[in-house]
Copies of this chain bind each other. A is one copy, B any other.
Amino acid sequence: MEENKSKKTIEKTSQLRQDLVTGDWVVIALGRGKRPGEFAKKRQPYSALQSQCPFCFPEETEQEKDVLIYRREDGDWSLRVFPNKFPAFSRGKAIKHFEEGPYFAMDGVGYHEVVVTRDHMRQIALLDPVEVAEIIDAYQSRYIDLMSKKSVNHIEIFHNHGNEAGASIEHPHSQLMAVPVISPGIQLELDGAEQYHRTNRKCVFCTMAAWETQERKRLIFENDNFLAFCPFSSRGAFEVWVMPKAHKPYFERINNEEKVDLGEALQKSIGAIYKTLDDPAYNFYIHTSPCDGKDYPHYHWHIEILPHTATWAGFELSTGIEISTIEPEAAAEALRANV
């Protein structure tokens, strides 16, 4: 009896959705699901004292020297960028290659910087859109500087918010990693976009943007230059993509008008996540074309925002398939109400 009942519920609700870009699958498993409000998961507090925050007091805590600083009219800084004190990649030098039997390795050469905004307590959800546009401006500025460095073929820009999302320091900050290799995460999308264009003679991301703007059921926000929506094949609950409406392969070519619009779209999206999920931990990152000297005319840069609502367990680690427990359409509806 019990068995039949649960079986019936599930059969109506579990779905495999295919990612239009990569061909990968995600599982939407509503049998385990909850109502949108039940996903709220306030991030854990930090134990470190704000008075000892290294990003409030970069000089006192011996951070590396600024590579970029923005100042307010009163002379105080509003944003600064400096090399990460504990970098995952080491600067400069030519890359040495190593072999060990059948294996291959190379020096982890690259650049690892942090982008810090002034106020410890004002996370992106609480900033003005124009302040977020300043962060975008800093991303672009550092990107353009780093892309011409020797051995840099790809630049990752990402933001971790909250302990559970891997941010060891509470103070709002983003990171840039400029690395010699193109990551599998980007490569799969580059290949997918290339193949979609070959088959359909159009950009797969433009196709998504046009469909989402027309259908509106997964749309969260739009302005002249950007749209924000929950992807049809969301990897996780309440995932949001922020994407240029026009076909743009290269983030670093963003102009001032677009920066203002992106600042607004990003702030509105993160603000809606903040309200809907009660200040959760989250990550976002920019997916853009590599800077390895090749052209990527069919790629279309965008930002992916992933609230931290679940833990990767054995199934996800093994398969790379994520199990989401809310329909992207229901997530979008809840987020839209909080924009």
Contact = CB atoms under 8 A, between A and B. Distances in A.
Contacts of A123: none
Contacts of A107: 11, 14-16
B311 A3 contact: no
Contact of A89 (B14, B108, B109, B313): B14
A49 interface: no
Nearest to A30: B108
A85 B156 CA distance: 41
B85 A6 contact: yes
Nearest to A103: B232
B167 A284 contact: no
Most buried by B among A91, A109, A211, A318: A318
Interface stretch (A182-190, A244-252, A257-265, A269-277): A182-190
Interface string A4-40: 0011001101111110101011011101100000000
Q: Give the oligomeric copy count.
A: 2
Prevailing SS type, chain A contact patch? mixed
A14 B110 CA distance: 10
Given A14-B87, A85-B6, A87-B10, A315 B156 contact: yes
A88 B314 contact: no
10 contacts: A2-B62, A10-B87, A14-B89, A20-B103, A31-B87, A156-B314, A159-B314, A166-B316, A177-B315, A181-B321
Interface of A: 2-3, 6-7, 10-11, 13-18, 20, 22, 24-25, 27-29, 31-32, 62, 64-65, 83, 85-93, 98, 100-109, 156, 158-160, 164-167, 175, 177, 179-181, 183-186, 188, 207-208, 211, 215, 232-233, 283-287, 304, 306, 310-321, 323
